[in-house]
Amino acid sequence: NPYILVTLLFGLGLGTTITFASSHWLLAWMGLEINTLAIIPLMAQHHHPRAVEATTKYFLTQATAAAMLLFASTTNAWLTGQWDIQQMSHPFPLTLITLALALKIGLAPMHTWLPEVLQGLDLTTGLVLSTWQKLAPFALLLQIQNVNPTILVTLGLASTLVGGWGGLNQTQLRKVLAYSSIAHLGWMILILQYSPSLTLLALLTYFVMTFSTFLVFKLNKSTSINALAISWTKAPILTSLTPLVLLSLGGLPPLTGFMPKWLILQELAKQDLAPLATLAALSALLSLYFYLRISYAMTLTMSPNNLTGVTPWRFSSPQLTLPLAIATTATISLL
């Protein structure tokens, strides 16, 4: 029903906006709750057992994270006597809030719900979950000052490594995208303390790249690597562009995805954290392996003289074409 859909999407926007605009922990918590409650019906809309399972898992993890957040902010108010997000001083609530927000966005080692949930959703809702739902917790993470840097660095490094190792074993595209999301979030958290503007840049480029990847898979109606191997018949031109989009996600120059990684490594080196930068760069190789594998599955079928390559084809859905074109171009040629 379009009315219900509009209401839910409005709720989604409202929740994020409230969190953005708040300087009080209670308001920020309310925004996160509205956000969660608005996306749950969207996730369960297909009434498929797998979708219902994913929705339940998502609801439980988000409720746990929100309860942790509320508990930590109340404890903070009890210990220091104020609710201001910027003015956090006590280490205990600070740590707890950081962990709660990490659970919200799915940083390792609190990441295990993310691949499971994403696998149960259709690609559009999966896209909203991978992009829009990360905004509010990120806004809070950026606002919290004087967190112990060790916590953030540990979370970030664990996420890049888990995102790399986890994706190697997958044949389902949505799970691969989930692990890719974990790895990218790890990069953002690594640099959060040292250069917040770089974190925002990485977040923005991640959004653009994920947007175009999800739209390509949606257009091809493919959810596994095997389905990609025969996607040539559905959209030949797109199939030849997709490997570039995937390699951009992996962070190869001269594609867009290389820019944030390059700048983050440079900043880490400036902060005398060369070992950390090396580990992060090596974990990016793991991610690169599975992006390459998917690209390989697609390019193997791209021979110009196969019968299906010359069949007439057209875009099945015009409302996809424009955002897809913009996102794909931005992903491939921004650097």
Per-residue model confidence as pLDDT tens digits over 205-232: 999 999 999 999 998 888 998 888 777 7
Mean pLDDT of the chain: 91
Query: Residue 302 above 70 pLDDT?
Result: no
Measured CA to CA in angstroms, residue 255 lies from 208, 312, 331 at distances of 12, 30, 7
How far apart, in whole angstroms, are the C-alpha atoms of residue 199 and residue 260?
8
In the three-class reduction of DSSP (H, G, I as helix; E, B as strand; rest coil), residue 200 is classed as: helix
Query: 12 and 39 in contact (C-beta within 8 Å)?
Result: yes
Stretch (H or E) spanning 142: helix 135-143
User: Band of the pLDDT at 110, cuts 50, 70, 90?
Assistant: very high
Q: Tell me what pLDDT residue 51 has.
A: 97
Q: Tell me what pLDDT residue 226 has.
A: 86
Give per-residue pLDDT as tens, 37-64.
999 999 999 999 999 999 999 999 999 9
Q: Tell me what pLDDT residue 315 has.
A: 55
Contacts of 323 (CB under 8 A, 6+ apart): 211, 215
Query: 213 and 246 in contact (C-beta within 8 Å)?
Result: yes
User: Token pair 């989604």 is at which residue?
Assistant: 12
For 42, other C-beta atoms within 10 Å of its C-beta total: 20
State pTM to two decimals: 0.93
Q: Is the dihedral of CA 137, 143, 147, 151 positive or negative?
A: positive
Residue of 237, 263, 264, 260 whose CA lies nearest to 250:
260
Query: Residue 306 above 60 pLDDT?
Result: no
Which residues are 172's β-sheet partners?
224
Query: Residue 317 above 70 pLDDT?
Result: no
Query: 95 and 87 in contact (C-beta within 8 Å)?
Result: no
Return the HEC string of 64-130.
Answer: HHHHHHHHHHHHHHHHHCCCECCCCCCHHHHHHHHHHHHHHHCCCCCCCHHHHHHHCCCHHHHHHHH
Q: Tell me what pLDDT residue 307 has.
A: 53
Q: Tell me what pLDDT residue 240 has.
A: 79
How far apart, in whole angstroms, are the C-alpha atoms of residue 191 and residue 149?
10
Percent of the chain scored above 70 by pLDDT? 94
Contacts of 66 (CB under 8 A, 6+ apart): 29, 32, 33, 36, 100, 104
